[in-house]
Amino acid sequence: MSALPKPVAEPSATPPPQRGAAARLRRFVAGARLEWRRAPYTVRLSVSALLVFYLFAAASPIIAPYDPTQQYRNLPDCPPMRLHLAPPSQWSHGFFFAYPMTMTDAMARRFAEDRTRRTWVRLFHRGHLFTTDLPADPYFMLGSENLGRDLFSRIVYGARVSMCIGLVGVFISFSLGILVGAFSGLMGGMTDNLIMRWCEIEMSLPSFYFLLALAAVIPSGMSTVATFFMIVAIMAFISWAGFARVIRGMAAAVRSAPYVEAGRALGASRTRLLILHVIPTVLGFAAVNASLSIPGYILGESSLSLLGLGIQEPAASWGNLLSQAMDPQNIEHYPWVLIPGIFISLAVMAFNFLGDYLRDRLDPSNLN
């Protein structure tokens, strides 16, 4: 009697999913690496730029070489300094140095390098990524502004306002839009009609004019944090409606979907239907929309601050740093005052690239 051959387990292409937090983390990392590899280089660059900017915001005291409010009164409107690599024989002093600047013409604010002395730029020194010794002359990587404050340090601290305003603003308008939109779509009828009419009213506001008029409310003596939240609140108030309308359309579409019907037949309450059935359906779309609306917040804040209605001195935001460029004479003589504008453009561009890619990536019609 020949024994039946033992059934051999089919070698499966994918091992069964492992359980546990570590395995889940490993899968997440693997998935992220795959996503990273298939993303085009523009998206990779955008993500990297955004990571750097958020690192600026999170670790500003470490990344900024100086206190953003420290004024070097003898060095106003000083041009960016060139960094030199020291010859190996002097590496006991440090690797990099710059020639300190001295003012040659106080009226025109002209500066010349003092070649006789050296300012050593030390890495990982005194709790900063790079900085100079305190009594020595400062090293201005991107120049200084009209009060002699280090522009790079101010940009790093300004990232806190400029990069966070989008996240906070989107969070507010996102939650408001999803809640109101999903509720309205699920309810239908008169409630739906009223809510949507109100949204249309908000959408046809001349938003920037309205923003200007409302920004007048912000008293100039308010703290930076309070001003920040006032601006976010005003902008979120203006922008949640458009979002709610789109979500409402999606919610109205799933209202009669079989799985929502089934939930209703099983006696689920409206709240339960809303939270468990409707909101998860619209979440993916909402995420894409959110990342595409962040640039609007960044631009709104910088416009207001640029016009002197937003974040006030001495606090820094990329918008109010750029306000020095309002005088064309400043651009001509001190072109580095435009640098904060480059940071704004880069951040906006990165969000645009990312949002556009996410939209295509999450669109079920081009899964391949």
Partner 1 sequence: MARFLIRRIIIMIPLMLGITFISFIAMSLVPGNFITNLALDPHISPQVIKQMEAEFGLDQPLMVRYARWLWQVVHLNFGVSLAYRVNVTSLIASRAVNTVLLSLASVIFSWALAIPIGVIVAMRQNSALDRGLSFFSFLGMSVPAFFLAFLAMDFALWSGVFPVGGSFSPDYAALDAWSKVADRINHLILPTLVLGVSGVASLMRLMRSQILELKNSEFVRTARAKGLPERTVIYKHVLRNALNPFVTMAGYGLADLLGGAALVESVMNLQGLGLLLLNAVRSLDVPLVMGSVLMGTILLLLGNLLADIALVAVDPRVDFSTLASQ
- Considering only 81, 101, 156, 325, the residue that binds partner 1 (CB under 8 A) is 325
**Contacts to partner 1 from residues 241-300, by CB under 8 A:** 295, 299
Given the complex with partner 1, which of 102 and 146 has the nearer CB atom?
146
* Run of H or E including 103: strand 101-105
Determine the straight-line distance between the first and last CA of the chain, rounded to whole angstroms.
53
- Considering only 119, 153, 303, 320, the residue that binds partner 1 (CB under 8 A) is 303
Considering only CA atoms, which of 182, 215, 162 is closest in space to residue 350?
162
Given the complex with partner 1, which of 152 and 357 has the nearer CB atom?
357
Give CA–CA dist 277/280, Å, rounded.
6
- Considering only 86, 103, 246, 349, the residue that binds partner 1 (CB under 8 A) is 349
**Contacts to partner 1 from residues 128-187, by CB under 8 A:** none
Q: Is 10 in the site for partner 1 (CB under 8 A)?
A: no
Give CA–CA dist 190/185, Å, rounded.
11
Give CA–CA dist 221/213, Å, rounded.
18
Considering only CA atoms, which of 250, 248, 217, 249 is closest in space to residue 231?
217
CB 46 within 8 A of CB 354: yes
CB 116 within 8 A of CB 185: no
- Considering only 52, 59, 83, 201, the residue that binds partner 1 (CB under 8 A) is 201
Q: How big is the site for partner 1, counted in residues (CB under 8 A)?
A: 44
**What single letter denotes the amino acid at residue 181?**
G
Q: Is 302 in the site for partner 1 (CB under 8 A)?
A: yes
CB 57 within 8 A of CB 159: yes
Q: What does the block give as tokens for 342?
A: 């480059």
- Considering only 148, 224, 352, 361, the residue that binds partner 1 (CB under 8 A) is 352
Burial class (CB in 10 A: 0-12, 13-18, 19+), 113: middle
- Considering only 306, 315, 316, 358, the residue that binds partner 1 (CB under 8 A) is 306
Q: Is 42 in the site for partner 1 (CB under 8 A)?
A: yes
Q: Is 105 in the site for partner 1 (CB under 8 A)?
A: no
Inter-axis angle of helices 279-306 and 151-187, nearest 10: 140
- Considering only 64, 236, 309, 358, the residue that binds partner 1 (CB under 8 A) is 309
Q: Is 326 in the site for partner 1 (CB under 8 A)?
A: yes
Q: Is 68 in the site for partner 1 (CB under 8 A)?
A: no
CB of 298 to partner 1, least distance (A): 9
Q: Is 205 in the site for partner 1 (CB under 8 A)?
A: yes
- Considering only 103, 168, 179, 212, the residue that binds partner 1 (CB under 8 A) is 212
Considering only CA atoms, which of 170, 225, 215 is closest in space to residue 310?
215
Given the complex with partner 1, which of 17 and 206 has the nearer CB atom?
206
* Run of H or E including 120: strand 119-125
CB of 162 to partner 1, least distance (A): 12
Query: Binding residues for partner 1, per CB under 8 A?
Result: 42, 200-201, 204-217, 219, 295, 299, 302-303, 306-309, 322, 325-326, 328-329, 331-332, 335, 338, 341, 344-346, 348-349, 352-353, 356
